[in-house]
A and B are shown apart, each in its own frame.
Chain A
Amino acid sequence: MMRTLALLFLLALSAPVLAQEMTLPDPVQEQRARDLSREIRCVVCQSQSIADSDADIAKELRVLIREQIAAGKSDDEIRHYLVARYGDFVLFKPPFKASTFVLWVGPFVILVLAGIGVAIYLRRRAPDESRPADLSSDERGRVARILNEEDSAQ
């Protein structure tokens, strides 16, 4: 019992904790800092945000974001500051501009092209000849007679 409790306790301690190196006293500002940190890519572990990453530079950027918020900078100003130094890649949501146009619009363009391709293919196909038209009553009579003749011929 005690062993399990101890192990569970240790497990709880090992859960990743948001670094407490510097939290802002104003809870609104602190929340802004956390939200902003989640939008910024860690340049070392590139699939993590700086909020989640243990890298030194991630910690530095978390502190820097808090300093700038405390100094009265807006979220956009802080994003600009980071992009000026690290490039658009540092934002998880790349801005929509000329150089990222292909990135944003590309998938939709491919979807539309594929759709056009399918439509052309369907239009170009010859009308459905695999299924013959229904027989008229005359033709059905003819078929019956032919079959009867064949039966009697055998």
Chain B
Amino acid sequence: MRRLLFLLPIVIVAALVAAFWAGLDSTRDKSALPSALIGKPAPIAGLPGLMEGAPPLDLAAYKGQLIAVNFFASWCVPCRAEHQYLRLLTDQYKIPVIGIAWKDKQADARAFIAELGNPYHAIAEDERGRTGIDFGITGVPETFLIDGDGIVRYRFAGPITEPVLTGQVGPAIRALQP
């Protein structure tokens, strides 16, 4: 019994070391909060379309497909950086990407798309920003994967660059594709 008690501090320290070691994993997105929306239906309903003459966004049109929803804004610098990689989501991973302009004036968002190109299947505008908050975004850019039943399955906060795509978002897509 005494020996057991003697070992107890060593065991506790070993457990703590293991826990901290796991936390040191540099490939983990340390500051990312787990999204509270995972497993819940995506809260998009009838957002107005951004582009000239575009209808309001209707997720029902994408039923049965895995899609990506990407929050961006013209005033957001990392959004500019990730914009070119969004096309890869469609080209390489074959999933439609829906853009949502968050807290952006319509004219500014349209100019952003005109300047940098349109990788999106559809774009909606969330000028008041409430849909972003409904998704629990921590800022822009932020991208969600939504499955064929409209359930949020994955969230990535930050710009999707090539290493992020191959290392994190890509594998998440593969895991969700039937």
A, B: real partners: yes
A residues at B contact (CB < 8 Å): 43-44, 46, 55-57, 60-61, 64, 83-87, 89, 117, 120-121, 124
Q: A84-B36, A124-B2 are in contact. Are A44 and B139 (CB under 8 A)?
A: yes
- C-alpha spacing A64/B139, complex, angstroms: 15
Enumerate chain B interface residues (CB-CB to A < 8 A): 2, 5, 8, 31, 33-37, 103, 129-130, 132-140
Output the least CB separation between A107 and chain B (Å).
14
- Of A60, A87, A124, which one neighbours B103 at CB under 8 angstroms? A60
Complex contact A85–B31 (CB within 8 A): no
- Contacts A60-B129, A117-B8; A85 near B36 (Cβ below 8 A): yes
Q: Which residues from chain B contact A85 at a C-beta distance below 8 Å?
A: 36-37, 133-136
Query: With A and B bound together, what is the CA distance between A78 and B132 in angstroms?
Result: 17
18 additional A-B residue pairs with CB within 8 Å, beyond A55-B139, A85-B37, A121-B5:
A43-B33, A44-B138, A44-B139, A56-B140, A57-B138, A60-B103, A60-B129, A61-B133, A64-B130, A64-B133, A84-B36, A85-B134, A85-B136, A86-B36, A87-B33, A87-B34, A87-B36, A117-B8
- Return B59 CB to nearest CB of chain A, in Å: 18
Contact at B139–A57, with CB atoms within 8 Å? yes
Among B5, B36, B133, which residue has its beta carbon within 8 angstroms of that of A83?
A: B36
Residues of chain A contacted by B140 (CB below 8 angstroms): 56
Give the residues in chain B near A64, CB-CB below 8 Å.
130, 133
User: How far in angstroms is the closest Cβ of chain A from B155?
Assistant: 11
Which chain B residue has the least Cβ–Cβ distance from A116?
Answer: B5
> Would you call A117 and B133 a contact (CB within 8 A)?
no
Whether A56 and B36, one on each chain, are in contact in the complex, defined by CB atoms closer than 8 angstroms, is no
- Using CB atoms, name the residue of chain A closest to B36: A87
Q: How far apart are the CA atoms of A131 and B35 in the complex, in Å?
A: 64
Complex CA gap A1/B61 in Å reads 70
The smallest C-beta distance from B128 to any residue of chain A, in angstroms, reads 9
- Are A57's CB and B137's CB within 8 A? yes
With a CB–CB cut-off of 8 A, which chain B residues contact A120? 5
- Chain B residue with Cβ nearest A113: B8
Give the docked Cα–Cα distance between A61 and B8 (Å): 46
Distance in Å from the Cβ of B105 to the closest Cβ of chain A?
Answer: 15
| 7 pairs of residues in contact across A and B, judged by CB atoms under 8 Å | A43-B33, A56-B103, A64-B130, A86-B136, A117-B8, A121-B5, A124-B2
Q: Which 8 A-B pairs have the closest CB atoms?
A: A87-B36, A85-B136, A43-B138, A86-B136, A60-B129, A44-B138, A57-B139, A86-B36
Chain A residue contacts of B8, Cβ below 8 A: 117
B35 CB to nearest chain A CB (Å):
8
In the complex, which residues of chain A have a beta carbon less than 8 angstroms from the beta carbon of B133? 57, 60-61, 64, 85
Chain B residues with Cβ below 8 Å from A60 are 103, 129, 132-133
